[in-house]
Amino acid sequence: MVKVGILGVGTVGASVAKILLENADIIEARAGKKIVPVLGAVKDLSKDRGVPIPLTDDPVEVIESADVDIVVELMGGVEEPYALVKKALEAGKPVVTANKALLAYHRYELQEIAGNTPLFYEASVAGGIPIIGALRNGLSANHIESIKGIMNGTCNYMLTKMIQEGADYDEVLKEAQELGYAEADPTFDVGGFDAAHKLLILGSIAYGIDAKPEDIVIEGIEEISQTDVEFAREFGYEIKLLGIAKKVETGVEMRVHATMIPASSMIAKVDGVMNAVSVVGDRVGETMFYGPGAGGDATASAVIADIVEIVRGNTGPMLGYKKGLESGLRLLAPDEIETQYYLKLKVLDRPGVLSAVSRVLGEHSISIESLLQKPSRLADRVRLLLTTHRCSEREMRQALQALKALDAVDESITMIRIEK
């Protein structure tokens, strides 16, 4: 019998305990041993968690209990769980965590501390989808060419509503908040930060890149409007919030932002709160992993899969990959990223403006791929919607500054990157 202690018995923690009890038959059959939740740590002992396991308000008690063989960390936060996970690993106890923020900041220190003690984290990326297993194990023969993931259900739900129902951003956000898909302060989701934490974890497994959130481009979906959605549709794209990690000649690009992707691509077809991660390997080609990215039971499914692996005695390098293995595999600075761009500008409706805009782009070596001019709601303005050929982020940023400095161009320019 293997005994599990749970730090943090909230939605996911309660699901872990319940599933271990309710699906005990099949879990034992697959793991080869009985797995039992024996102790949980919570902040507030007075709250009913609906699970029949003893609770304490001292997480260290869980870690130090002679009765606990495996520690599951589901507290959230960064520094407090870091100290606790460290303590558990130093005591030689295997740890399973679903905490993406913890790993976004401390995964390499934790790999170091863990040594040969298992530290598994399947649930930290894309909830119930076994994407970590796929990358660490299933695709291990491949150099990874790219990872593109829909890893935030809130954003995907909102974008899907905007696309399918013609709803505007503010309405959809309100609806998502009412349904519990978005927090009262939705920044962590709609600003791309949640997806960025997950991307950093995948970037380590695929490329051994040691980066923190502040090192990569992180943008959200707050600027997306119906005009953009309609333009995308017209030109055969869908708009998704993607986390992208991609090997290019000079290194690895990592970025999170709203992205126009061909409507025919598999990942463009992923709607609603669902998540999906497309992984292209140099040998296997494109694979995609689809499923629920959140929810107590779905996340607990991944947590328990890790526990089963530990009970089976399975290991492997925590991050699947040594740091800095492939020569030249450095993280590109945001300025070095190269891609295609979509721009939406509001400009004065008078002769010469279009030529001024295209001259500014030309001066920054940016050439226009397609262009659409539409009337604006303001009488003296028109909207210019355009896509560019590939250029660097540096050139684009400079061009945007120069465009905003033009008298005839309003300051509020929307820029969306395009991935083909």
- State the binding string over 235-274 for a second copy (x if CB under 8 A, else -): -------------------------------x--xx----
Residue 293 touches a second copy, criterion: CB under 8 A: no
Question: What residues numbered 2-61 form the site for a second copy, per CB under 8 A?
Answer: 15, 19, 23, 25-27, 29-32
Residue 308 touches a second copy, criterion: CB under 8 A: yes
Nearer to a second copy, 30 or 86 (CB): 30
Could you tell me the smallest distance in angstroms from the CB atom of residue 59 to a second copy? 23
- Up-side HSE of residue 316: CA atoms within 13 Å toward CB? 18
Helix, strand or coil, per DSSP, at residue 330: coil
Nearer to a second copy, 272 or 334 (CB): 272
Nearer to a second copy, 80 or 271 (CB): 271
Q: Which residues are catalytic?
A: 198
Helix, strand or coil, per DSSP, at residue 281: strand
- Cα separation, 344 vs 412, in Å, equals 9
Could you tell me the smallest distance in angstroms from the CB atom of residue 31 to a second copy? 7
Nearest Cα to Cα of residue 171 among 180, 181, 161, 184: 161
Nearer to a second copy, 200 or 318 (CB): 318
Nearer to a second copy, 286 or 336 (CB): 286
Nearer to a second copy, 134 or 218 (CB): 134
For the chain, how are helix, strand and coil distributed in percent, rounded to 5?
Answer: 40, 25, 35
152 burial (CB, 10 Å; 0-12 / 13-18 / 19+) is: buried
Residue 288 touches a second copy, criterion: CB under 8 A: yes
- Cα separation, 229 vs 381, in Å, equals 20
Q: Which of 142, 177, 376, 414 touches a second copy (CB under 8 A)?
A: 142
Alpha carbon of 209 to those of 139, 203, 320: distances in Å? 18, 6, 12
DSSP 409: B
Residue 363 touches a second copy, criterion: CB under 8 A: no
Nearer to a second copy, 66 or 325 (CB): 325
Which window, 57-65, 298-306, 368-376, 407-415, contacts a second copy (CB under 8 A)?
298-306
- Cα separation, 356 vs 354, in Å, equals 5
DSSP 333: P
260 burial (CB, 10 Å; 0-12 / 13-18 / 19+) is: buried
Nearer to a second copy, 140 or 250 (CB): 140
Residue 115 touches a second copy, criterion: CB under 8 A: no
Residue 114 touches a second copy, criterion: CB under 8 A: no
Q: List, as one string, the DSSP characters of 128-194.
A: TS-HHHIIIIITTTS-EEEEEEE--HHHHHHHHHHHHH---HHHHHHHHHHTTSS-SSTHHHHTSHH
Residue with tokens 């954003």: 155
Q: Which of 168, 210, 297, 349 touches a second copy (CB under 8 A)?
A: 297
Structure tokens at 67: 């009765």
- Cα separation, 389 vs 309, in Å, equals 47
Residue 164 touches a second copy, criterion: CB under 8 A: no
Which window, 150-158, 184-192, 307-315, 376-384, contacts a second copy (CB under 8 A)?
307-315
- Cα separation, 393 vs 370, in Å, equals 19
Residue 317 touches a second copy, criterion: CB under 8 A: yes
Question: What residues numbered 380-409 form the site for a second copy, per CB under 8 A?
Answer: none
Rounded to 5 degrees, φ, ψ at 168 are: -95, 160
Residue 282 touches a second copy, criterion: CB under 8 A: yes
Q: Which of 213, 262, 320, 334 touches a second copy (CB under 8 A)?
A: 320
Residue 291 touches a second copy, criterion: CB under 8 A: yes
Residue 289 touches a second copy, criterion: CB under 8 A: yes
Could you tell me the smallest distance in angstroms from the CB atom of residue 165 to a second copy? 15
- Cα separation, 333 vs 323, in Å, equals 18
Q: Which of 169, 290, 341, 342 touches a second copy (CB under 8 A)?
A: 290
Residue with tokens 């005695």: 313
Which window, 82-90, 106-114, 172-180, 275-283, contacts a second copy (CB under 8 A)?
275-283
Which window, 1-9, 87-95, 125-133, 223-231, contacts a second copy (CB under 8 A)?
125-133
> Which residues bind to a second copy, rule: CB under 8 A?
15, 19, 23, 25-27, 29-32, 122, 128-130, 133-134, 136-143, 266, 269-270, 281-292, 295, 297-298, 300-305, 308-309, 312-317, 320-322, 325-326
